[in-house]
Amino acid sequence: GKVSSISLEQFFVLQQSDQTLIIDARPAFFYNLGHIPGASHLPKNNCDELIHNREAEIKTALAEGKTIVVYCTSRTCPDARTVARHISGFGHPASVFSAGWNAWNEAGMPTE
């Protein structure tokens, strides 16, 4: 699979129209404090096992035309790109929202 980048604006449109499978690559502590609505937690530790366990969910989302979007904390956090590379290693395309949680939150976007 291919790894690409996605902007805040593009991501927001996909998120609002339920056209994305959102993956939060941050540690559980931060995910539990708040995350982008609909995001599921998939940290970089043991991510291959976690991706394998969610293979059916990923394939279903892609079959429905959804975009897989992975994010972490900010542009300086490598976790989203790491998890996206692992997803692509399973043959699935993934987009990285490199601006991350901080940019999403600072832009006043919805959170849960």
pLDDT in tens, 60-75: 999 999 999 999 999 9
pTM of the model: 0.96
* Cα 103 from Cα 109, distance rounded (Å): 9
Q: What pLDDT was estimated at residue 5?
A: 97
pLDDT in tens, 73-91: 999 999 999 999 999 999 9
Q: What pLDDT was estimated at residue 62?
A: 97
The model's confidence at residue 29, banded by pLDDT at 50, 70 and 90, is very high
* Helix, strand, coil tally for the chain in percent (to 5): 45, 15, 40
| C-alpha closest to that of 3 among 68, 52, 62 | 68
Q: What pLDDT was estimated at residue 47?
A: 94
Q: Which DSSP helix (H) or strand (E) runs through 53?
A: helix 47-53
The model's confidence at residue 48, banded by pLDDT at 50, 70 and 90, is very high
Whether the Cβ atoms of residue 101 and residue 70 lie closer than 8 Å to each other: no
